[in-house]
């Protein structure tokens, strides 16, 4: 009888757990290692925000979200499109729905039932989970060096997958410690930088006491020639929220030039400046400027205060100048929030270092998947979609190498 093919996976996040399930169900003897005490910590954290699994938009705009990584990720996402991810959630007993923004969520807005069912299926397929085992590099024979509760061991397997994530929210496990280890092994890694992160703005004294936590709804933000519609929230440090996150790359680029960078806030993107000016011109004498802005164009108090953060205490009295400020209030950027506080990580193992099957060119038999690869995408479900799709592609590559066939999956179009 042929010996079972062995697979070692390091990283029990969605990428590692997905590839582990696929290969275990194909008949491989799978062991998933992770240095945390329990699996899928970051996915569970994402569940607290409702777990936006994927997005319902059409293929072309969907793939365009991956920017320069579109060509590298496109085939993997075509082979494992949003419908495949939704079908998996269904199989685990978590039906999904499309929200008003087009984002796809599990009906219960949680990750924990999904993770529980997933781990149950992994166990049923015979996979072993070994927690508190930290990947510490490669031995001279190429085997994995693992630090576990019983000390240092080496792990050899017929195929290995590293799915170690990025470096945001390191308390959840992905701390980017792998970068130095892989670089030492000659693997090219683009520096890890924050993505989908907040920005830092030097608010004036008292502004955040009053408006910290206040939302800026239906706005457009612009930076470096790009603009994104959405929402933002005023924080002690600056701004957070979907519109800020969608500009991550542009903001990083603007700050990297070393010149003064700003984020331009359009507080009334749906109202032409001349309409705003005309409405402001009909202000009642005796009304304060704040009242006029509230009554004539519906600006919330935090939006009016933001105009003062941009232009100083004395706002322009001229309706046209004030309308122009409402449509484009620049805020000087001090920087971005640190990687530890970002939702995701840009940078990682460069696509030039891997084959289309996500196998390292310099280390045959060693595959990589998930957020540790050099791609970036906005929030909206694109992060988990690429994580699953790259894990599926790596699992397929590993199966070929091991002479196994992955169980067929039902994919209902895109």
Ligand X SMILES: Cc1cc2nc3c(=O)[nH]c(=O)nc-3n(C[C@H](O)[C@H](O)[C@H](O)COP(=O)(O)OP(=O)(O)OC[C@H]3O[C@@H](n4cnc5c(N)ncnc54)[C@H](O)[C@@H]3O)c2cc1C
Interface ranges with ligand X (CB under 6 A): 10-16, 33-36, 41-43, 45-46, 49, 51-52, 134-135, 163-165, 168-169, 173-175, 177-178, 343-344, 370-371, 381, 383-384, 387
Residue at token pair 């790596």 = 394
Between residues 294 and 350, which has the closer beta carbon with respect to ligand X? 350
Instruction: Name the minimum Å distance from CB 300 to ligand X.
Output: 26
Q: How far is the CB of 38 from ligand X (least distance, A)?
A: 9
Q: Which of 81, 97, 51 is nearest to 379 (CA)?
A: 51
CA angle 200, 384, 391 (to 5 degrees): 130
CB of 42 to ligand X, least distance (A): 4
Smallest gap from Cβ 54 to ligand X, in A, equals 7
Is the Cβ–Cβ distance between 395 and 156 less than 8 Å? no
Q: Taking the complex as a whole, how short is the minimal distance between the CB of residue 89 and ligand X, in angstroms? A: 13
The smaller minimum CB distance to ligand X, of residues 224 and 380, is found at 380
Bridge partners of residue 157, in order along the sequence: none
Half-sphere exposure of 93 (CA within 13 A, CB side): 10
Distance in angstroms (rounded) separating the CA atoms of residues 265 and 263:
6
Q: Which residue has the tokens 């502004």?
A: 207
Distance CA 33, CA 10 (A): 5
Q: Which two tokens stand for residue 361?
A: 């060119």
Q: DSSP 3-state assignment of 110? A: coil
What kind and span of H or E run contains 231? strand 226-234
Radius of gyration of the chain (CA): 24
Q: Do 117 and 94 touch, CB atoms closer than 8 A? A: yes
- Judged by CB, which is closer to ligand X: 50, or 330? 50
- Report yes or no: 374 and 351 within 8 Å, Cβ to Cβ: yes
| Cβ distance to ligand X smaller for residue 372 or 406 | 372
Residues 6 or more apart whose Cβ sits within 8 Å of residue 259 = none
| Closest to ligand X by CB, 123 or 256 | 123
Smallest distance, ligand X to C-beta of residue 45, A: 5
Nearer to ligand X, 224 or 370 (CB): 370
Name the 3-class secondary structure at 29: strand
The least CB distance from residue 135 to ligand X, in Å, is 4
Cα–Cα distance between 414 and 125 in angstroms, integer?
28
Least distance between ligand X and beta carbon 204 (Å): 29
Structure tokens at 289: 């400027």
Q: Considering the complex, state which of residue 142 and residue 316 has its C-beta at the smaller distance from ligand X.
A: 142
**In 10 A of CB 156, how many CB atoms?**
12
Which spans in 127-238 are helix H?
178-184, 207-211
The residue among 340 and 357 lying less far from ligand X, judged by its C-beta, is 340
Determine how many CB atoms are found less than 10 A away from the CB of residue 237: 19
Output the smallest distance, CB 133 to ligand X, in A: 6
Shortest reach from residue 140's CB to ligand X, in Å: 19
With contact defined as beta carbons under 8 Å apart, do 120 and 107 qualify? no
Task: Indicate the residue among 175 and 240 with the shorter CB distance to ligand X.
Answer: 175
Using the minimum distance from each CB to ligand X, give the nearer residue, 27 or 82.
Answer: 82
């Amino acid at each position: 009888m042929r010996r079972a093919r062995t697979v070692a996976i390091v990283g029990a996040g969605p990428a590692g757990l997905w590839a582990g399930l696929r290969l275990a169900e194909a008949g491989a003897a799978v062991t998933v290692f992770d240095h945390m005490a329990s699996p899928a910590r970051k996915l569970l954290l994402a569940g607290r925000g409702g777990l936006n699994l994927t997005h319902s938009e059409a293929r072309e705009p969907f793939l365009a979200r991956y920017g320069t990584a579109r060509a590298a990720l496109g085939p993997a996402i075509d082979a494992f499109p949003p419908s495949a991810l939704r079908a998996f959630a269904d199989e685990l007993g978590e039906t999904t729905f499309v929200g008003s923004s087009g984002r796809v969520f599990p009906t219960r807005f949680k990750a924990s039932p999904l993770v529980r069912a997933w781990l149950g299926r992994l166990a049923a397929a015979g996979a072993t989970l070994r927690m508190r085992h930290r990947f510490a590099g490669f031995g001279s024979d190429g085997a994995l060096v693992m630090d576990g509760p019983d000390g240092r061991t080496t792990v050899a397997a017929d195929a290995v997958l590293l799915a170690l994530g990025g470096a945001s929210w390191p308390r959840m496990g992905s701390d980017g410690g792998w970068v130095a280890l892989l670089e030492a092994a000659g693997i090219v890694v683009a520096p890890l930088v924050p993505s989908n992160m907040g920005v830092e703005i030097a608010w004036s004294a008292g502004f955040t006491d009053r408006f910290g936590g206040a939302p800026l709804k239906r706005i457009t933000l612009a930076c470096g020639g790009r603009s994104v519609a959405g929402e933002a929230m005023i924080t002690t440090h600056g701004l957070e929220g979907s519109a800020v996150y969608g500009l991550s790359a542009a903001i990083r680029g603007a700050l990297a030039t070393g010149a003064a960078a700003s984020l331009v806030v359009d507080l009334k993107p749906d109202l032409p400046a001349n309409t705003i000016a005309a409405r402001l011109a009909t202000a009642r004498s005796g009304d304060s400027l704040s009242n006029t802005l509230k009554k004539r164009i519906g600006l919330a108090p935090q939006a009016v205060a933001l105009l003062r953060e941009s232009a100083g205490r004395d706002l322009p009295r001229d309706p046209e100048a004030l309308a122009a400020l409402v449509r484009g209030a620049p805020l000087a950027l001090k920087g971005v929030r640190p990687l530890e506080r970002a939702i995701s990580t840009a940078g990682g193992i460069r696509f030039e270092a891997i084959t289309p099957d996500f196998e390292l060119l310099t280390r045959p038999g060693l595959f990589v998947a998930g957020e540790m690869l050099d791609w970036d995408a906005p929030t909206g479900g694109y992060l988990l979609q690429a994580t699953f799709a790259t894990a599926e592609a790596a699992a397929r590559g590993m199966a070929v190498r091991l002479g196994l066939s992955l169980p067929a999956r039902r994919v209902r179009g895109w």
